[in-house]
Structure 1
Amino acid sequence: MTFLSALLAAEPAHEAVKAGAHAAPSSGPLGDIIETFGNFGVDAPHLIIQLINFAILAFVLYRFAIKPALGQMEERNRLIEKGLADAQAATQRLAEAQKASDAKLNAAADEASKILAEARTVAKAAVEAAKAAATAAQTEVIAKAKAAIEADRVKMMNEVRGEVSRLVVETAAKVLEQNLDDAMRGRLNEAAVKQLGR
Structure 2
Amino acid sequence: MEKLAELGINIPSFIAQVVNFGLLLGLLYLFAYKPILAKLDERSARIKESMERTDQVKEQAQRAEEEFKKKIGEASQQGQLVIERAVKTGDEIRQKAIEEARAEAEAMLSRARTEIRQERDEVVDQLRKEFAELTILAAGKVIDQSLDKKAHQALIDSVLESSTNLRKN
- Normalised to the residue count of structure 1, the TM-score between the two structures is 0.72
2:34 to 38, 58, 67: 67
The answer to whether the 8 Å contact 1:173/1:180 transfers is yes
- 1:85 paired with 2:48, answer no
User: What number of residue pairs does the alignment pair up?
Assistant: 164
Partner of residue 111, structure 1: 78
Cα separation, 2, equivalents of 1:188 and 1:99: 98
Q: For structure 1, list consecutive stretches of 5 or more residues without a partner in the other structure.
A: 1-30
Partner of residue 143, structure 1: 110
- Normalised to the residue count of structure 2, the TM-score between the two structures is 0.83
The answer to whether the 8 Å contact 1:168/1:192 transfers is no
Bigger Rg, structure 1 or 2: 1
Cα separation, 2, equivalents of 1:125 and 1:100: 37
Partner of residue 25, structure 2: 58
Residues 84-129 of structure 1: CA deviation (Å, up to 9, x unaligned) = 1011112101211221121122112112212221221122122112
Cα separation, 1, equivalents of 2:156 and 2:45: 132
Q: Secondary structure at the match of 1:178?
A: coil
Amino-acid identity (%): 23
Q: For structure 2, list consecutive stretches of 5 or more residues without a partner in the other structure.
A: none
The answer to whether the 8 Å contact 1:173/1:179 transfers is yes
The answer to whether the 8 Å contact 1:166/1:189 transfers is no
